[in-house]
Homo-oligomer: A and B are copies of this chain.
């Protein structure tokens, strides 16, 4: 089953467009990181359409971090797709090694990649038609403006670099497995990207701790079928409680987010039908 099919099934089964980012912060976890994350997975796996571990948070722990990542991947039910938030980007033969690391050695269903090195740096991921590839397009950090918003010259007049990246991602999408990463905090940019890429999956970080406006983001990002977005929350779910009830608190927060997304989605669809 391809990433996209696996995702569609999880969306349907759990009635959810919510992805939970599994990013362990040793300063906020009392006890073993793997146990903590596996408990969160167990408490939330009927509420999400995907999980997204960001590799940086495992790498900072060295070998125990690698072991924790293995344990978390093992704990996630087989029918929930898992996205490696890795943002890798390197020349062809190196990108091939990264693809082997993430898809074969670790078994991820999808990955985030950085576009700066161009098409041949993304190709080794895209060639794996059964996996998903999310090209980082417009992020929600302040520094995103430094490059992503630069005006690039072109036939129809200047336009921001991130729009050019979206167009490139469409070119790279010969196998139908390419999506975009775009911050949820800028609904106007999100709306523009949805216009440019009506059929692409959009992975939206920036909900929860990053304080995006959920309603605006959902409305701006939905495709014509009222789907096509994956809304990620990490810290707001993982660290919903600092106490021993962290797993129940994570479940409550995930449920609230899932329900809020679903409510905005239904409202948007009703408006379209009206």
Give residues in A with beta carbon < 8 Å to B. Answer: 23, 54, 56-57, 59-63, 66, 85, 87-92, 94-95, 97-98, 100-102, 104-106, 114-123, 136, 139-148, 150-153, 158, 161, 164-165, 168
Q: How far is the CA of A161 from the CA of B116 in the complex (A)?
A: 10
Q: How far is the CA of A106 from the CA of B60 in the complex (A)?
A: 9
Contacts A91-B139, A95-B56: A116 and B118 contacting too (C-beta < 8 A)? no
Q: List 11 A-B contacts (CB under 8 A).
A: A56-B101, A57-B97, A59-B98, A59-B105, A117-B144, A121-B141, A121-B143, A122-B143, A150-B164, A153-B158, A161-B161
Q: Which 6 pairs of residues, A with B, have the shortest CB-CB distance?
A: A118-B143, A118-B146, A59-B101, A56-B97, A120-B143, A60-B100
Q: How far is the CA of A97 from the CA of B145 in the complex (A)?
A: 22
Is the beta-carbon distance between A120 and B141 smaller than 8 angstroms? yes
- Shortest Cβ distance from residue A191 to the other chain B in the assembled complex, whole angstroms: 22
A140 contacts across to B, CB distance below 8 A: 91
- Shortest Cβ distance from residue A52 to the other chain B in the assembled complex, whole angstroms: 12
Q: How far is the CA of A89 from the CA of B115 in the complex (A)?
A: 11
A153 contacts across to B, CB distance below 8 A: 150-153, 158
Q: Which residue of B lies closest to A105 (CB)?
A: B62
Other than the given A57-B97, A59-B98, 19 more pairs (CB < 8 A) read A59-B102, A60-B104, A63-B63, A87-B88, A89-B114, A91-B140, A114-B114, A114-B116, A115-B116, A116-B136, A117-B143, A117-B147, A118-B147, A118-B148, A121-B141, A122-B143, A150-B153, A150-B164, A152-B161
Across the interface, A147 reaches (CB within 8 A) one of B56, B102, B116, B139, namely B116
Across the interface, A90 reaches (CB within 8 A) one of B56, B92, B94, B164, namely B56
Contacts A60-B98, A136-B116: A146 and B161 contacting too (C-beta < 8 A)? no
